[in-house]
Amino acid sequence: MELRHLYTFKVVAEVKGFTKAAETLSYAQSSVTAQIQALEEELGTKLFDRLGKKVILTAAGEKLLPYALRMFELHDAAIQELTMDNIPAGTITIGAPESLAAFRLPAIIREYTRRYPHVKIILRPGVCWELRSFARSGELDVVFLLEPETQEHDLHIETLVMEKMAIIAPPDHPLALLPAITAADIQEETMLHTEPGCSYRTLFEKYLSSFGVFPGTDLEFWSIEAIKNCVMSGLGLSFLPLITVEKEIAEGKLRALQWNDEPCRVATQMAYHKKKWLSPALQEFLKLVEQHAQTWNEKSRQV
C-alpha cells in the first residue's frame, strides 16, 4: 500500500466527501477517486459507501482506518528518530470546542509555530464527546475539552484551568440593575444556547431544573459570535464561558449578571491516549500548553 493512497483515504474519511478531500489536499477530484479505487482494488474490498453527496466508511474502511493512523504515526516516529538534530517536525492534529479554539488556543498555536516552523498544526473543531472519541481512535493527537472534570481509563486527561461562567445580558436589561440574581429570576427569560450536546449548556440546564426553573424560551445558535450579537440586540440572555465575552463586557456592550457560578463551572482539560507515542513536536506542544495554563490560572485568581 502506498502511503499517499492511505493519506488520501484518511482525509476522505475525515471530511466525508471526495470533493472536500480534493480541496483539502489540493488535488483534482479525479486524482482522489483514482487513489481510492487503487487502494480498494489492492485490498479487494470497498472502503466507502456513497450516499448521495455524503461518503461514509464501510465496515472494511472502519477496520482499515486505525491501521492507517498507526502507520502515519510510525512514519513520523521514524523520521524523528533518524533526524540528527531532532528538531521538532511533522504534523500535530488538535481538536477543541469552539470556545477553546477561538479564545484559548490561538496564542499557543501562534507561539508554537513561531518556535517550530517545521511543524504543521491542524485544528479541528468539535463537541467534547466527539473529540474524546477521536483521541481514543488516534484520529487526533491531542484534544481540549470544556466540561466538568473527568477521568477516562484509556485517556490521559489533565485539568488546565477551571473556567468561570457568565450569564450575559444587554447593559439595559432589568436584571442588569440587580446587585445579584438567582435561578428564579431567569424563569421567564429567553435563553440563547449553543447546540445540544454542549456540556456546559447541559450543566446549566440541570442547575436551573434543580430549582424548578425552566426558562420561557430556548433558542439555539450555531456559533458563540452569533449568540453574543443576538444578546447585544436584546433577543435574550445567554450562558457562556467568561473568556468568550470578556472583551464585550469590558467595552460595555454586554453585562455579566452577578450570580454564584460555582455549581456550573467547567474545566478546560487536555487529553490524549495513554498509549500514544509522544513525538518531540507533540511533547513541546504539551509543554507550551502547560506554560500558558499557568498564566490562565494566575489571571483567573485575579478576576
Q: Strands, E, within 102-227: which ranges?
A: 119-125, 142-147, 155-163, 165-169, 190-193, 217-220
For 48-68, write each residue's pLDDT tens digit: 998 877 889 999 999 999 888
Full domain range(s) for residue 187: 165-264
**CATH number reported for the structural domain that contains residue 78 in this entry:** 1.10.10.10
Same domain, residue pair 1 and 148: no
Count of domains in the chain? 3
Same domain, residue pair 44 and 93: no
Same domain, residue pair 185 and 298: no
Same domain, residue pair 169 and 147: no
Q: Which of 159, 213, 152 is nearest to 186 (CA)?
A: 213
Same domain, residue pair 138 and 284: yes
Same domain, residue pair 147 and 26: no
Same domain, residue pair 21 and 140: no
Whose cell is 485517556? That residue is: 155
Phi, psi of 82 (to 5 degrees): -95, -5
| Whether the model pTM is above 0.75 | no
Q: Which of 82, 102, 128 represents a domain boundary (last residue)?
A: 82
Task: Give the DSSP H or E segment for 161.
Answer: strand 155-163
> What SS3 class is residue 167?
strand
For 225-279, write each residue's pLDDT tens digit: 999 999 999 999 999 999 999 999 999 999 999 988 888 889 999 999 998 888 8
In what order do the strands lie in the sheet containing 165-169? 217-220, 190-193, 237-241, 165-169, 255-256
Residue 45 and residue 60: Cα distance in Å, rounded? 7
Q: Which of 49, 82, 115 represents a domain boundary (last residue)?
A: 82
pLDDT of 53: 74
For 244-258, write each residue's pLDDT tens digit: 999 999 999 999 999
Residue 197 and residue 274: Cα distance in Å, rounded? 25
pLDDT of 141: 94
Give the pLDDT mean for 92-112.
Answer: 94
